[in-house]
Amino acid sequence: MNAPASHLHALKLSELIGSLSYALDITEGQPPGHCLRCCWIGTHIGRRIGLPEAQLWELYYTLLLKDLGCSSNAARICELYLTDDLNFKRDYKTVGDSLPQVLGFVLKHTGLKAGLAERFRSVMTILRDGPEIARDLVATRCQRGAEIARLLRFPQGVSDGIYSLDEHFNGGGKPARIAGEAIPIYSRIALLAQVIDVFHTAGGRAAARAGARARAGQWFDPRLVEAFEAVALSDTFWQTLAGSDIERAVSDIQPFGAGQESPLDDDYLDDIATAFGQVVDAKSPYTSGHSARVALYTDMIGEALGMSEARRRWLKRGALLHDVGKLGVSNSVLDKAGALDRSEWDAVKLHAEFTETILGRIGAFRELAAIAGAHHERLDGTGYPRGLSADDIRIETRIITTADIFDAITAVRPYRGAIPIPQALEMMGKTVGSALDPDCYDALVRAVERVPFPQAA
């Protein structure tokens, strides 16, 4: 079967980025569609203040991609706060600047499942070093987000807009404490749009308007709050924001700009898959480079099986994105060193469904979505999420599964060190026919023999 190139080449940048923004929403603990709703809000504010079309285009993508760096501080949040990073991130977006609000947030979110002494030490450390900790967390996120925006080939304006997302108009934000109009206009609009959406989702129009007004001159540029107040007079604006057709509405308001009408070529699709693979891998210190390695091993197995170069290139994108659903799983589970309990294991297993859901939103990726989402299925029917049996598991999925297991065994994990390649292959060989496809396993063995891997890899 040949790669569905014609479908891929019909794909538009706005469709792809809009769909992948759903992955960023679940990483931030936000209801699905958060970035799309922010894009709807922020683009209307940008039009209201008279931004020219080229700047509106950059603003549009800043809003869709504002959370690109969100996975990079998840592990650190879990380590510091002994908590679920998804709930922490969701609630942090509305914490004000006053000491009682900050203290209340820390006490409410720190170490709720930890022992009393451990929780006490964590809370005291955060209260002592809180400003520096918060600045470091935001700086990590902002810097990583800006880097990935550049990998996605967006202009410097988009990268800068993402970097300064958490700066406040009064100079009390992070990471650089810049103030007023020194903050990029895209960042000022994105922060306002983000908070409007969080308040609107929780409490409706009145809560959104009150939240914006209360922070005017502090977090937000007063001129932008005024522009939002004018936009907020429209019932249609609110109805669309709360409606089920928000994705199409956001696509319809995309400003004219470079790349809007240009189909995505294979090189750019490869770059996008690589960049989002990095977003996934940044979530845990134990998964650094995992997506890229699985893509490499997938390609090596595909080559050994005689798969065409075009099909291998297409499948590599699926391998790069196979774990995108892990963005919806808390690091408190992903990085746990001990055995997982039933609820934790159920949470981990959800990542396969999340992967299929996220990729399935992209019309041209539907085939890849099914292939990548099934990478934990087993030939004997005991895998997840659907318990598929051998006849229902495609060869492409079997390849990614083999590559994924090989990397999982040969990489360092929270509970053990890396296992040498010969031992890893021996362990895998025992599951051939039950978990692993015999042809894919043989292809992996042949491929590995051709490469001088270090023995302790």
DSSP letters spanning 196-247: HHHHHHHHHHHHHHHHHHHHBTTTB-HHHHHHHHHHTT-HHHHHHHHSTTHH
Q: Which residues contact 192 (CB under 8 A, 6 or more apart)?
A: 41, 42, 45, 212, 219, 220, 221, 224, 225, 228
What is the residue whose two structure tokens read 């699709």?
Answer: 269
First to last CA, the chain: 34
Measured distance CA(385)–CA(349) in Å, rounded: 7
Measured distance CA(138)–CA(102) in Å, rounded: 16
Mean pLDDT of 407-417: 79
Q: Which residues are catalytic?
A: 326
When comparing pLDDT for 152 and 378, which is higher? 378
The per-residue pLDDT for range 79-137, each reduced to its tens digit, is: 555 455 556 555 555 555 554 555 555 555 555 555 556 655 565 565 555 566 666 66
Answer whether 166's CB lies under 8 Å from 173's CB.
yes
Bridge-partner residues for 216, per DSSP?
220
Answer yes or no: is pLDDT of 150 > 80: yes
The per-residue pLDDT for range 370-405, each reduced to its tens digit, is: 999 999 999 999 999 999 999 999 999 999 999 999
- The closest of 87, 75, 84, 72 to 29, measured between CA atoms, is 87
Q: Is 306 left (phi over 0), alpha (psi -120 to 50) or beta?
A: left
Answer whether 419's CB lies under 8 Å from 413's CB.
no
Mean pLDDT of the chain: 83
Which pLDDT score, from 0 to 100, does residue 443 have?
97
Structure tokens at 65: 């991609």
Q: What is the pTM of this model?
A: 0.77
User: What is the C-alpha radius of gyration for the chain, rounded to an integer number of angstroms?
Assistant: 23
**Residue 282 confidence class, pLDDT cut points 50, 70, 90:** confident
Answer yes or no: is pLDDT of 8 > 50: no
Structure tokens at 95: 């914490």
